[in-house]
Chain A
Amino acid sequence: MRVKPIKVFALLAVICVGSLLLSAMGDFPAFGDPNSPANAGQLATHYITQVRVETKVPNIVTAVLADYRGFDTMFETVVILVAGLAILAILRRPACESSRRFAEIAAMKSHVDLIQVTTCRLLIPVIQLFALYVIAHGHHSPGGGFQGGVILGASFILMALVNGLRATLLRFSEKKALFLSAVGVIIFAGTGLICMLLGGNFLDYEVLHQILPYTDPVMARSHAMLIVEIGVAFTVMSIMFLIYAVLSSGGEMEGGL
C-alpha cells in the first residue's frame, strides 16, 4: 500500500508539535504541587479565601464562573446560542412531502414499545426534577446552569428517542426552543444591563440589592448568580434539544432517529 503524502505530513507535524510540547515539560511544576505558581498564585488564593466574604457562595467554581468571570460565562451562553443558530442556518430546510408523509405513517404504525414508554414516563419527570435541583443547588454542590441545562435537554432528547421526534416537537416546538434560548441570553445579559442602569458596571450584581428585597450587596451577588444560572439553563436546554432535533432529522424536523 502506498503511503499517502498527507499521512507523512501529519506525522511530521505531530512529531514537531509533540516534541515542542514535551520539551517545555521539564519546566513545569510537578503535577499536584500545591505551591506551583498557578495553584498558590494571588488569583487562586484570592478566590479560595475571599469567596465566602465577597459572594457568600460555598461552591468556589460557581462563584468564579458566574460572578468573577461572569462575562466569560455570558459569552459561553452566547456560544451555545450561536451553535444552535448556526446548525439551524446550515441544515434547516423545509421537510419535503415524501419524508413528511413517511414520518406520518411511521408515527401511526410504529410499534410503541410499552416498556420503553412506561420507563420514560416514570424516568423523565425524575430526570427533570434532578436537573432543576442541579440548577438550583449549584451554589452548594457541583452543578449549575450548564449541567442542569444539559440534563434538561437530555430529558427531551430521551423523550424524542422513545416517543419520536414528531411527538416531542408537539410539546416543545422549534419556535418555542428558539424563543427560550433567546430568553436565556436575555436573562443573563439583561441582568447585566439592569446593573448598568442601577449605576454599577455591566454584570456588577452588587448594585442589585437596591431592587432585590431583603438583600445586602453580598447576598445580591449570591442571588443574582442564581438568576443568571437560570438564564444559562434556559439557553442550554433548548439549544441542546434543538441540536439533536436538527441533526437527527437531517434538518427536516421530521422522522428522527
Chain B
Amino acid sequence: MADQIPVLIILAPLFGGILVLLLGLRYRSVCFPIAVASLGVSLFSALHTFRTVLLEGPQRYFLSGWERGGGFAVGIEYRIDQINGLVLIMIAFVALLSVIHSRSRVSVETPAKVPQVYILSLLLVSGLLGMTITNDAFNLYVLLEISSLSSYALIAIGSRRSALSAFNYVIMGTIGASFLLLGVGYLFIQTGTLNMQDIHGALMAEGLINAPSIKVALMLILIGLWIKMGLFPLHGWLPNAYSYAPSATGTLMGPLVTKVMIYIMIRMMVSVFGIDFLYEQLAWTKPVSLLASIAIIGGSFLAVSQTDLRKMLCYLIVAEVGYMVGGAWVGNLNGMTGAIYHILGDALMTLCLFFVVGIVVAKTGEHRLSAFKGLFKSMPLTMVCFVVVALAMIGLPPTCGFFSKWYLVRGGLEAGQYPFVIALLISSLVNAVIFFRLIEFAYFQSPDSDTAEAHGAHGESGAHGDEGEHSATAHAHTPVPMKVYRVDPDLDADSIITEVPWGMKAPLLIVAACLLLLGIFNSTVTAWIADGLKGVGF
C-alpha cells in the first residue's frame, strides 16, 4: 500500500472536494473540516513521498498500471524527484494554511457560497498538485484547465468588478493554455509521444532538436506559460484578477498559481527540451534573461507606484516572477537552483504578505497603504510577522529571501548576465523602499493624528520624490481619519483594532517561522535541489 502514496497527493483533495459537494451543501459545518483533513492527507503523502525520494531516488508511478512496453510509456506516468517533491510539499502546505486562515473570511465575504468556495479551492489545489507531479505533457494541459476553470470561478465569485477581471483572465488564460496545447502538439507531430522523458529521448535520438518546428514548439510553450504566470509584458490580467477577488481566493491563488506555472516552465525546460540544448545550442539565454530583467524592474516600479495594498502585492508577484524566470534562464546550475529555491521561498513570502494584508484590510476596513498606521501597538504579533516577511522580500540574511537572491546573483555573475544582476539589486532597493515605508507607518505613526500623516508625507517626500506623491494621494483619499478605525463588524464588535483570532494568526506565525527556517536550513534544501538537478542533466 505504501507504493500507492504518491497518487494520494492528488486524490485526497479531489475526493475531499467531491465529499464537500455531497455533504457540504446540506451541512455547512462539515466543509471546513473536510477541506482541512483532505489537504492534511495530501501534505502527509507529499512528505512521505519526498522522504522515499530522498532514500530511494526518483519515484515513478504508472497510472492504470501500464508499466510495460519496450522502453516507452504507454499510459500516463507520474514522476517525483527531489525538485517537484519539494514543490508538492510547498503547494499542500500553503493550501492548508491558506484554507485555515481564510475560514472566517469565506463566511464573511461570500456567505451564500461557502461550500462552492471550498469545493473549487480543493479542486484547484488538486489540479496544481497534478500539474506538478505529472510526467505527461497532455495530462498537464487537462490539469491546467482544471485549475484555471476553478480559479476563474473563485475570482468571479466576488463583486461585479471581479467578474470583469475574471473575464479578462478567462481570455488570457485560454490563450495561454491553448498555446501550451499547441506547443505540445508540435512536439507530438515530430516525436509521436506525450511522455516527457520519451519526447526528450526522441528529440535527442533523431537529431530533431534543431528542427524549426521544435523551436516553435518551445516558443509556444514558453509564451503560453508566460501568459499564465504573468511575466511582465503579459501580466495584464493578474493584478486586477487577484486584487478584486475575495480575499480567500487571493490568499490561495496568489502564492500558488504563478509559482506552479514557473515550476512547469522549468520542468518543460529540463525534462522535455533538455538543458544542453537550451543553454548551449540555443542562444536564447541572453534575450530571455534580459526580458526577465525588464520584468523585474517593470514589476517593481509598478508596485512602488500603487496606493492600494493588494494591487501593490500583485505587482510584487509580477516582479518576483521575473526573478525566477531570469534565474531559470541565466544558464547555469546556481541560477536554476536559485530559481527553484525561490519558488519555495516566494510562495511562503507571498502567502505571508497576503495574510498580513488580508488581516490589515479586514481589521481597518481600509485598503490603502496608510492602513498600516500605528498597527504595531494594536497588533504586535501580526506586525512582527510582517517585519519578518519584509526582511525576506528585501533579501536580508536570516530569511530565505537572502539566500535565493544570493544564488540568483551568483548565477547571474557566473554567466555574465549583468543586466539581470543589476535588475535584482534595483528590485531589492525598491522592495526596501516599499517595506520600510510600511514598517515606518506601522511603528512610528499613530493612527489618530492627522498631522502625523502629513508630517510623514512631508518627511518622505524629500528622500523619494515619487513616494511622497503617493503618500500625498493616500492622504487625499482618506480625508476622514476616522476611516482608519472602521472595523469589520463580523470580525470584531469593538471599535478598537486588536489582534485577530488564533485561527487567522496561527497560520501567519507558522509561515513567518517557516520563512526563517527555510533560510536557516538553506544549505540542506539547496543540496536537495542540486541533487534533483543533477539527476536531469546538469
Contacts and interface: CB of A to CB of B under 8 A. Distances in A.
Contacts of B127: 75
A40 to B, nearest CB: 7
Interface string A180-207: 0010011001001101100011111111
Interface in A194-224: 195-196, 200-207
Interface in A1-53: 20-21, 23-29, 36-44, 46-47
| Max chain B Cβ within 10 angstroms of own Cβ: one of A25, A38, A46, A89 | A89
A20 B113 contact: no
Nearest to B182: A21
A125 B21 CA distance: 30
Interface in A92-141: 93
B64 A70 contact: yes
A203 B14 CA distance: 15
B212 A182 contact: no
Interface stretch (B34-42, B136-144, B253-261, B265-273): B136-144
Contact of B63 (A23, A70, A185): A70
A196 B120 contact: no
Interface in B140-194: 142-143, 145-146, 149-150, 152-154, 156-157, 163, 182, 186, 188-194
Interface string A159-170: 000000000000
15 contacts: A43-B74, A70-B63, A75-B142, A78-B123, A79-B149, A85-B21, A85-B120, A178-B21, A185-B18, A189-B18, A192-B11, A201-B61, A202-B64, A203-B63, A203-B64
Interface string B109-146: 00011001101100100110010000010110011011
Interface residues of B, number: 65
A72 B139 contact: yes
A172 interface: no
A24 B182 CA distance: 12
A132 to B, nearest CB: 25
Interface stretch (B65-73, B97-105, B495-503): B65-73
B21 A20 contact: no
Given A68-B75, A71-B139, A90 B120 contact: no
A28 B211 CA distance: 10
Contacts of B69: 42, 46
B454 interface: no
Interface residues of A, number: 59
Interface of B: 4, 7, 11, 14-15, 18, 21-22, 25, 61-66, 69-70, 72, 74-76, 112-113, 116-117, 119-120, 123, 126-127, 130, 136, 138-139, 142-143, 145-146, 149-150, 152-154, 156-157, 163, 182, 186, 188-194, 198, 202, 211-213, 215-217, 219-220
Given A46-B74, A200-B65, A40 B192 contact: yes
Nearest to A42: B72
Nearest to A44: B192
Contact of A79 (B64, B139, B146): B146
A82 interface: yes
Nearest to B194: A43
Contact of A38 (B15, B189, B212): B189
A89 B15 contact: no
A14 B217 CA distance: 17
A41 B117 contact: no
A74 B218 CA distance: 28
Contacts of A20: 216, 219-220
Contacts of A185: 18
Contacts of B142: 72, 75-76, 79
Contacts of A23: 212, 216
B145 A202 contact: no
A179 B192 contact: no
A27 B11 contact: no
Contacts of B66: 68
A37 B190 contact: yes
A22 B99 CA distance: 46
B192 A38 contact: yes
A80 to B, nearest CB: 10
Contact of A90 (B63, B65, B157, B194): B157
Given A70-B64, A71-B63, A192-B11, 12 more contacts: A25-B213, A46-B72, A79-B145, A79-B149, A81-B21, A82-B123, A82-B153, A85-B123, A86-B150, A89-B157, A90-B156, A201-B61
3 tightest A-B CB contacts, nearest first: A41-B192, A204-B65, A86-B153
A113 to B, nearest CB: 36
A88 interface: yes
B19 to A, nearest CB: 9
A201 B64 contact: yes
Contacts of A175: 25
Given A40-B192, A75-B142, A82 B18 contact: no
A196 B15 CA distance: 14
| Max chain A Cβ within 10 angstroms of own Cβ: one of B74, B150, B198 | B74
Contacts of B139: 69, 71-72, 75
B55 to A, nearest CB: 21
B64 A205 contact: yes
Contacts of A75: 127, 130, 139, 142-143, 146
B38 to A, nearest CB: 13
Given A41-B193, A43-B72, A202-B7, A182 B213 contact: no
